[in-house]
Amino acid sequence: QPEVQEGGTLNVAMNSPLSGLDPAYAGLWLDYSVGSLMHQQLFEVDQEFNMVGLLAEDVEISDDGMTWDISLQEGVMFHPPYEREMVAEDVVYNFDRIGDPDVGSPRAAQLQPLENWSAVDDYTFRIELASELASLPAWLGFMGLSVLSPDALEEEGDAKQLPIGTGPFKFEEWQPREQLRLSKFDNYWESDVPLVDEV
């Protein structure tokens, strides 16, 4: 259409079933593509294949390249019923969870170059590297390192059936091998997104 159309439902056919909704266990590209509508990483690849900040607004790197202070977007909200602002401690929680051997996430390997991670303040997430890694944003933008609501994870036990993130769409219903229904998150942090009411 020559002009942007807003509202309505976008129906999308999936070429295979989803393996699950928890990004910590995402193994298929389809899982990642669908999941990115509900939850987000610190970085992403844009349409020109540049690695750019998503939940990350800016990065300050120490002179020796070993410490990265990542400034987070302010005003990013988790979806209801756990709606509150995302802060750096939430990022720490998710990295701890992915790196926990008891969780058994296949994404834990992406954390191997990281020696430590911590929250400096509400909007600064610090990473200390074991060795220099210029491609760190690409590591952090890979599928699986999304930020989910710690409150939801603690109460629900996992995100396999109820992924509560910060994405433009919130989870409504999943009938495995039948359909997944998402609705527009009205309190989404980016302006003019999303355009449709439901997927």
pLDDT at 168: 97
Tokens of 140: 């952090």
Please list the pLDDT of the chain residue by residue as tens digits (199 residues).
678 888 999 999 988 888 889 999 887 888 888 999 999 999 988 888 888 899 999 999 999 999 999 999 999 999 999 999 999 999 999 999 999 999 999 889 888 889 999 999 999 999 999 888 888 888 888 767 899 999 999 998 777 778 999 999 999 999 988 999 999 999 999 988 899 999 9
Q: Rounded distance, CA 151 to CA 17, Å? A: 28
pLDDT at 1: 60
3-class DSSP state for residue 154? helix
Residue 17 neighbours by CB under 8 Å, 6+ apart: 176, 177
Identity at 53, one-letter amino acid code:
G
In the block, residue with structure tokens 């303040």: 121
pLDDT at 12: 94
3-class DSSP state for residue 176? coil
